[in-house]
Amino acid sequence: MNVSPVFQAIIMGLTFPLRCFGVKFSYTLNYDIYRFGKIDSTNTRALKLGDEGFPEGTVVVADEQDSGRGRFGRKWEAEPLSNLLFSILLRPGFLKRDEVFILTFAAAVAVAEALEKTAGVAAELKWPNDVLLDSKKVCGILLESSFEGNSLSHVVLGIGLNVNQTAFPEEIKERATSLALVTARKFDRDELLLMVLGNFASLYGTLMSGDLYPVMKKWRERMRMIGRKVTLTVADKTFEGVIDDVTDDGSLVLRMPSGLRKFTAGEISFSYSNIM
């Protein structure tokens, strides 16, 4: 694919240590960053680059998306030039198919840590793919996988982070926020991007070493919704219950009148008057 008219590539290597059989060595996740002005969707582009054999660590960043999307084909709304819209191409051959969800959790932790460090805010994580500030969504993560036959070829982690946007469309304004709205300050998007990428590289290194637990732990520490009464929407069905747990395989466990029930996908909504 010819991307040359619209990108500048910054090549950056982030090195982090891995420990194996007591020997310390370094795995380098080389990020190649392709920056676009306007694009359809950074996820669409990164998936294509993945199909074309681009290496793990390829990052597509855009100032604006025509067709930014969320899960289930939902729209991701972002004012041009104000936010972070990017996708990371990964080839996580070390993960089993049912472990790939952990990459969404790692991305959420990477974003939360960057927000906390840059702005001193307390980020909360919402199952399965959101980062919240002041109980509103500041970031959404979209993980898309590409398979060759039965085996995982590549994965794209798309991250939409509301940075400097201060007004949102009517249909999301009650639920969306940005770093600028919460702090009354503006932020350098590139600095934030590099920080999220750096944090993610280090979490990815931990996952590569075969241990998912540290990432799961960091994610859980920021998921403060255990015990909260929620409504879970799965396709066109809704379930009322209390969040009992998020298990190590990334599933949500709801305590319902009929007993405990595990869900692998869905959308949580809650009322703050219902904290139990």
Residue 140 sits in the site that holds ligand BT5 (CB under 6 A):
yes
Comparing CB distances to ligand BT5, the nearer of 66 and 211 is 66
Comparing CB distances to ligand BT5, the nearer of 25 and 170 is 170
Residue 164 DSSP symbol: S
Binding window for ligand BT5 (CB under 6 A); candidates: 27-35, 61-69, 199-207, 225-233: 61-69
- Bridge partners (DSSP) of residue 22 are none
Using CA atoms of 163, 155, 215, 179 in order, give the dihedral in degrees to the nearest 10. 0
Residues 161-200 that bind ligand BT5 (CB under 6 A): 162, 172, 176
Q: How many residues at the interface with ligand BT5, by CB under 6 A?
A: 28
Residue 77 sits in the site that holds ligand BT5 (CB under 6 A):
yes
Minimum CB separation of residue 150 from ligand BT5 in Å reads 26
Separation CA 14–CA 26 (nearest Å): 10
SS3 200: helix
Residues 97-136 that bind ligand BT5 (CB under 6 A): 129-130
Q: Which two tokens stand for residue 52?
A: 């074309």
Q: Are 90 and 204 in contact (CB under 8 A)?
A: yes
- Bridge partners (DSSP) of residue 65 are 39
Separation CA 104–CA 12 (nearest Å): 22
Residues 81-100 that bind ligand BT5 (CB under 6 A): 85-87
CB nearest ligand BT5: which residue?
A: 140
Minimum CB separation of residue 127 from ligand BT5 in Å reads 11
Separation CA 70–CA 5 (nearest Å): 27
The residue from 14, 41, 196, 212 that contacts ligand BT5 (CB under 6 A) is 41
The residue from 55, 70, 198, 214 that contacts ligand BT5 (CB under 6 A) is 70
Could you write out the DSSP letters of every residue in 91-104?
A: --TTS-GGGTTHHH
Binding window for ligand BT5 (CB under 6 A); candidates: 30-38, 65-73, 94-102, 187-195: 65-73
Q: With 0-12 CB in 10 A as exposed, 13-18 as middle and 19+ as buried, what is 77?
A: middle
- The contact set with ligand BT5 (CB under 6 A) reads 41-43, 65, 68-72, 74, 76-78, 85-87, 129-130, 137, 140-142, 158-160, 162, 172, 176
